Amino acid sequence: MELSIDPDARLSVPGQTANVSASSPLLKQTNAGGFKKVCRIEEESTCPFPGLPAGVLEMRVKEGSKIRNLMGFAMARMQNDARDAGQTGLRQVVFTGSGRAVTKTITCAEIMKRKLGGLHQITKLQYKGLREVWESQEGGDSEVTVHRTLPSISILLSKDPLDPLEPGYQPPENSLWEERNGGEASQTAEKRSVDSSESLTEPRAKRVCL
């Protein structure tokens, strides 16, 4: 397996740790092959939504996760499909993903917003650490540890209103539609009321003239 490393990655060899550049001889030797990944550990990041009530559903999206499986479980919990167990649907769900799973995380949130509707949203972006251990396939005790940082996204969807002043807040889509079209709708309604009132008064004026 070929090892690809970011330019800002940090390598650790037994007995020492150093920051290296993309032109480092050690990186060139590792990229040439002969190493296999034996361990991959992602650091646990803190929840970017402090104060969440207990029992909030957290969906951790991975690169190999199936969207159909994720949404089937999440939709069943957010809807009232749990009434067979004497429970009601949940009010909030958090989708989290990092690295290559960021796009899939956003897709899951958008699908739920379309299917349920009226969901308030808060999106948070952060970074999390990743440590990979690679061993030489040519024998010996050669071992390389790669430290990287991955972009991570967390999306909170809630049936209940959220703080609109919180950074990353998005109102429900129907609220956006009302804000965009509310002015036009009210103007149309006023115009119709004026036209109808004029149509009612015009016949009376004609009768008086006659």
Q: Which two tokens stand for residue 34?
A: 């002969």
Q: Which of 123, 114, 124, 125 is nearest to 172 (CA)?
A: 114
19 or 52, greater pLDDT: 52
Span of 148-157, 160-169, 193-202 with lowest mean pLDDT? 193-202
- Would you state the pLDDT for residue 11? 57
Decide if pLDDT at 33 tops 80.
Answer: no
Query: Looking at residues 150-161, what average pLDDT do you find?
Result: 95
Query: Looking at residues 12-40, what average pLDDT do you find?
Result: 57
Q: For residue range 105-125, list pLDDT tens digits in order.
A: 999 999 999 999 899 999 999
The pLDDT-based confidence of 205 (bands split at 50, 70, 90) is very low
Residues 6+ apart with CB under 8 A from 13: 26, 143, 144, 145
The pLDDT-based confidence of 89 (bands split at 50, 70, 90) is low
* Strand pairing category for 10-13 and 16-19: antiparallel
Span of 88-102, 165-179, 188-202 with lowest mean pLDDT? 188-202
Distance (Å, whole) CA 81 – CA 67: 19
- Would you state the pLDDT for residue 209? 43
Distance (Å, whole) CA 112 – CA 8: 36
Distance (Å, whole) CA 117 – CA 112: 8
**Do 63 and 100 touch, CB atoms closer than 8 A?**
yes
Decide if pLDDT at 72 tops 60.
Answer: yes
Q: Which of 169, 159, 172, 154 is nearest to 91 (CA)?
A: 159
The pLDDT-based confidence of 199 (bands split at 50, 70, 90) is very low
